[in-house]
Structure 1
Amino acid sequence: MIVFPAIDLKEGKAVRLLQGRMEDSTVYAENPLEVAQRFLAEGSQFLHVVDLDGAFAGKPVNDEVIRNIVEKVSLRVQVGGGIRTLDRIEELLQLGVERVILGTVAVRDPQLVAEAVQRYGERIIVGIDAKAGKVAVQGWAETTEITAVELALKMRDVGVQRIIFTDISRDGMLQGPNIESTVQLAQETQLQIIASGGVSSLEDLRKLQAQAQEGVSIEGAIVGKALYSGAFTLAEALKTVSQ
């Protein structure tokens, strides 16, 4: 199972939010590049980056920071946040990003997702963020009536192979991920699921890994606040999932 350390970008800095609220942000690092370098030094091969400004504004805000990370740190970087057009996807891939995460546009314009998958294949991931099982969009500011499973099945139909699933109520709260909903999504769709939101302990990672070892299609987990708050180190997380 893969551990994806996370960097959330706001105004060029590495921050964490509580339940997706921009007003509840904590700055953890003035220089996100240094954070990425530390993750590499601790043994990571992957990095999950979210342009929070982009997610709320619907346009790129932190490209210089992203370019800096991609050019100077040999991590496989996936990026999400405000990506709504094929041109924007192409821009990020040209920057050197390995995978692009589509969120709101999966609800608003599934045909665009279909075209993106046709062009770029597995480099396209869909992020599904849910409140009480219902998909939230526009930087989590708006909740729809579609369920996470319904959207995932629609995305599977257009060729998406990988979903990042976030239970917003758990995000940044260090209460543990919603393993039940994550497993349900994996079982009902047979897509590769990356768990996100709420990982607070090495035990959370062990529980997710146990599901993966039993054949549930959980590819990995995104870890953010737990690393920044010192709940455990990235090196400890990587060791845990390698056992």
Structure 2
Amino acid sequence: MAKAGKAKVVAAKPESATKATLTISSKNYSSWSLRGWLLCRMAGLEFEEKRVDIDDPEQRQELLLLSPSVLVPRLTHDGVTVWDTLAIAEYLAETMPRAGLLPAERVARAHCRAVSGEMHSGFHNLRSALPMNLKARHKSFKIFSGARPDVERIKAIWSECLATYGGPWLFGAWPTMADAMYAPVSTRFRTYAVDLEAPLAAFCETVFAWPLMREWTQGALAEPEEIVELDVEF
């Protein structure tokens, strides 16, 4: 696959004066909330952050009214309601194209959509075996056999993207939708001491040093220690 550059994008200013609301769950445990939050911040969207504790019956009923699928995050913006993370990504890319959530070049853009979609719909064993927990850090961790193919597939995706587009992000010099989708995986690999080749470890360090990730992590570390038990994947 040929290399495809992406023009530098000046820090995006909100393209709509309408105040948005992003409903999220735990910052420490909710990988989908992290993805939605990163996407909104990358797009330059001004939004109010609304935290929903799904364990609380009243809050749960509220969320049921907000989203029939009982999933977070949920974006409300300019009369639009979007509660699926990939749909949020596409909505923001369409509404605020100057933010560069997708690469400018056609082939790279299709590739970015493909790997983002694969993260969105796959890797169920990885999610079960290595749940996101930003506060935890294991010196060693035995990954059960069912999750190992997911780990290897993600390594392959990262390796191909970094080799094709030159890094330090998956699609070149600037973060895209794909980096938001895989950012929680970087934290999982760190939490559970997953062994990574040097280029992949460098990519994870790029994610950890990202000001947006640092801001989210600070919020996660400030949360109470208790984990909220959910009957849906979050």
TM-score normalised by L of structure 1: 0.30
> Based on CA coordinates, which of the two structures has the bigger radius of gyration?
2
Task: Looking at secondary structure, tell me which structure has more helix per residue.
Answer: 2
The higher-RCO structure (CA 8 Å, 6+ apart) is 2
